[in-house]
């Protein structure tokens, strides 16, 4: 019988093994949980965007022209408050030339409310009486509405 | 013995691993599953809502009729020709002579509902009426449908095809808006609301309202007190005749009647060229005073059917202008108890 060689007792060995397994398992669980959380967050953002896009709805029903600015009448017939993020205008005579108009300070459209937006004076765009102009408004969640009227 | 103990230690580690794996799957997988189910429900609800709104908006059909209110401002009422109720959200009045500039506008309370086949009450704006101005009146519903109407109807506004067709058929210069016909009946001292329909109770004083248009673009028609609604009972032999002569009603349709007035010999309802007007009928003789109860007309029998004729009598361009007469057979009416 050889004496002098010492080893860890079976009990301690078992406990060490359990500890290693637990630590490794916890690390793997943390990684999986973190990855799932990121996936959930991205998925949640996508779902919220889809739902908001479906609930967003607005129309333009009148335009009041002056030489260098225009006042547009909006009505929010959707299910949530939104904002107009862009207004593009073009002349019916030259539909390929589209100009983005500068937006006023507040473009919020409350649900069930008529809101008028006055586009500030422009340096590069003027309205000519008798000509027909198209206005395309883009909402916060991607919906658009196009309206045309003779100046 | 030692081998058995070693095997047992290996078995413990495997169990712990298995438990850990299952725990990971449950916590992460279940959380994701629950979220995904909720997300699907939200998207499905939003999609259903949008589909329903778009579908209902496509079903909205209504006309806008301009008028002058009792306080001499521009007003309008809405006639719902569609299959679903509508809610009026906004009315705008534009002064078209300014090339689209906003003359006047008004936001009314968002509580006006109009059921299918019904008319709204008069919607009064703050725009003072100028008889020399043509207005464009726009109505916006809660679902986002917009309808504009010119007031008064512009000269030449009646489609040429319709005018040509009617002239070629020799049906005359006055055209009826068939679905505009309404009646109001008196209960006690109160006149009931204007009601559409062709089945009405007997035994009550009755006043009729009919919207007519003068499609002659060159002349104004001055309608006199001899104009009437002539009803003859249907049957195999000549039945009874009931006649409702023209009267004045205040206020104008669609408001309920508050007062009646007789037509004197010089009184006229002027229907300008290319424009519409409401005619009211209710007394049993030309020029009779409708405020004398005995002069108002009622149906005395039930379960009778009548053919209704609109007999127009008047003059062109003045009280004493070229005489004009027209007979328009158009309605079938039945009485009930």
Note whether A21 contacts B5, CB cutoff 8 Å.
no
Q: Which of B215-219, B224-228, B294-298 has the least mean pLDDT?
A: B215-219
Task: Quote the percentage of chain B above a pLDDT of 70.
Answer: 82
Question: How far is the C-alpha of B228 from the C-alpha of B280, rounded, in Å?
Answer: 9
Question: How far is the C-alpha of B175 from the C-alpha of A71, rounded, in Å?
Answer: 40
DSSP secondary structure code for residue B25 in this structure: I
pLDDT at B103 over 80: no
What pLDDT band is residue B170 in, cutting at 50, 70 and 90?
Answer: very low
pLDDT digits (tens, 9 = 90+) for B12-39: 567 777 887 788 778 778 888 888 899 8
Note whether B100 contacts A57, CB cutoff 8 Å.
no
Q: What pLDDT score does B150 carry? A: 81
E strands within B99-224?
A: 104-106, 112-114, 123-128, 135-141, 146-151, 174-176, 182-187, 190-191, 195-196, 199-201, 206-214, 221-223
Which one of B45, B90, B103, B147 would you mutate to disrupt binding with A, by most A Cβ within 10 Å of its Cβ?
B90
- Residue B100: which of B146, B139, B141, B138 has the closest Cα? B138
What pLDDT band is residue B247 in, cutting at 50, 70 and 90?
Answer: very high
- Pick the more confident residue, B72 or B78: B78
What number is the average pLDDT over the span B38-53? 90
Question: How far is the C-alpha of A116 from the C-alpha of A121, rounded, in Å?
Answer: 16
Note whether A75 contacts B90, CB cutoff 8 Å.
yes
- The distance of A124 to chain B (nearest Cα, Å) reads 22
Note whether B92 contacts A36, CB cutoff 8 Å.
no
> Helix, strand, coil % (nearest 5) of chain A?
30, 35, 35
Question: How far is the C-alpha of A57 from the C-alpha of A139, rounded, in Å?
Answer: 8
Question: How far is the C-alpha of B238 from the C-alpha of B221, rounded, in Å?
Answer: 33
Q: What pLDDT score does A141 carry? A: 94
| Predicted structure pTM score | 0.62
What pLDDT band is residue B101 in, cutting at 50, 70 and 90?
Answer: low
Which chain A residues touch B42 with a CB distance below 8 Å? 47, 51
- Under 8 Å between Cβ of B119 and B194: yes
Name the residue with tokens 């007792």: A9
Provide the 3-class DSSP secondary structure of residue B219: coil
Pairing mode of beta strands B195-196, B199-201: unpaired
CA-nearest residue of chain A to B91?
A114
Q: What pLDDT score does B162 carry? A: 40
Which chain B residues touch A71 with a CB distance below 8 Å? 102
Which one of B1, B3, B7, B24 would you mutate to disrupt binding with A, by most A Cβ within 10 Å of its Cβ?
B24
Of A47, A54, A64, which has the smallest distance from its Cβ to B50's Cβ? A54
What number is the average pLDDT over the span A98-117? 88
- Pick the more confident residue, B55 or A66: B55
Question: How far is the C-alpha of A40 from the C-alpha of A18, rounded, in Å?
Answer: 32
User: By CB neighbour count within 10 A (0-12 exposed, 13-18 middle, 19+ buried), where does B318 fall?
Assistant: exposed
Q: How far apart are the first and last CA of chain B?
A: 108
* A132 in contact with chain B, both atoms CB, cutoff 8 A: no
- Under 8 Å between Cβ of A150 and A131: yes
B177 φ, ψ (degrees, to nearest 5):
-90, 100
Note whether B110 contacts A112, CB cutoff 8 Å.
yes
Q: C-alpha angle with apex B153: B150 to B159, nearest 5 degrees? A: 105
Which chain B residues touch A129 with a CB distance below 8 Å? 99
Which chain B residues touch A58 with a CB distance below 8 Å? 144
What pLDDT band is residue B159 in, cutting at 50, 70 and 90?
Answer: very low
Query: Which residues neighbour B255 within 8 Å (Cβ) at sequence distance 6 or greater?
Result: B121, B122
Q: Which of A4-18, A42-56, B37-51, B146-160 has the least mean pLDDT?
A: B146-160
- Distances, alpha carbon A3 to alpha carbons A6, A10, A11, B313, in Å: 8, 18, 21, 137
* B7 in contact with chain A, both atoms CB, cutoff 8 A: no
């Amino acid at each position: 019988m050889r004496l002098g060689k010492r080893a860890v007792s079976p009990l301690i060995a078992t406990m060490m093994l359990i500890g290693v397994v637990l630590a490794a398992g916890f690390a793997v669980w943390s990684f999986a949980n973190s990855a799932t959380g990121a996936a959930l967050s991205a998925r949640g953002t996508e779902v919220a965007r889809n739902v908001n896009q479906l609930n967003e709805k607005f129309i333009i029903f009148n335009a009041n022209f002056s030489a260098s600015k225009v006042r547009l009448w909006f009505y929010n017939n959707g299910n949530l408050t939104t904002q107009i993020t862009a207004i593009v205008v073009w002349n019916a005579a030259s539909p390929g030339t589209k100009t983005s108009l500068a937006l006023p300070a507040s473009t919020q459209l409350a649900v069930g409310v008529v809101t008028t937006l006055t586009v500030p004076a422009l340096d590069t765009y003027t309205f000519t009486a008798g000509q027909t102009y198209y206005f395309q408004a883009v909402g916060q969640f991607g919906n658009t509405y196009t309206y045309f009227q003779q100046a | 013995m030692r081998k058995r103990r070693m095997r047992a230690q290996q078995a413990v580690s495997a169990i712990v691993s298995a438990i850990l794996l299952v725990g990971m799957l449950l916590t992460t997988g279940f959380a994701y599953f629950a979220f995904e189910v909720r997300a699907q429900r939200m998207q499905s609800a939003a999609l259903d809502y949008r589909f329903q709104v778009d579908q209902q908006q496509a079903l909205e059909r209504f006309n806008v009729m301009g008028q002058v209110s009792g306080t001499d401002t521009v007003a309008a009422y809405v006639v719902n020709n569609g299959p679903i109720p509508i809610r009026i959200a906004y009315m705008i009045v534009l002064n078209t002579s300014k090339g689209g500039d906003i003359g006047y506008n008004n936001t009314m309370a968002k509580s006006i509902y109009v059921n299918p086949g019904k008319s709204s009450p008069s919607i009064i704006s703050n725009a003072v009426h100028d008889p020399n101005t043509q207005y464009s009146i726009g109505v916006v519903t809660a679902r986002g449908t917009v309808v504009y109407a010119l007031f008064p109807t512009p000269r030449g506004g009646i489609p040429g095809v319709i005018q040509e067709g009617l002239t070629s058929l020799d049906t005359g210069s006055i055209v009826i808006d068939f679905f505009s016909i309404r009646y109001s009946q008196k209960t006690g001292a109160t006149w009931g609301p204007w009601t559409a329909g062709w089945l009405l109770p007997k035994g009550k004083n009755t006043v009729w309202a009919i919207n007519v248009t003068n499609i002659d673009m060159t002349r104004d028609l001055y309608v006199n007190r001899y104009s009437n609604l002539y009803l003859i009972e249907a049957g195999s032999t000549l039945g009874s005749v009931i006649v409702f002569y023209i009267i004045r009603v205040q206020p104008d349709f669609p408001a309920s009647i508050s007062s009646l007035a007789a037509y004197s010999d010089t009184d006229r309802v002027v229907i300008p060229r290319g424009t519409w007007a409401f005619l009211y009928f209710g007394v049993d003789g030309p020029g009779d005073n409708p405020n004398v109860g005995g002069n108002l007309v009622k149906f005395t029998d039930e379960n009778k059917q009548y053919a209704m004729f609109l007999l127009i009598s008047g003059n062109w361009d003045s009280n004493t202008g070229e005489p004009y007469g027209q007979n328009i057979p158009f309605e079938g009416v039945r009485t009930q108890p």
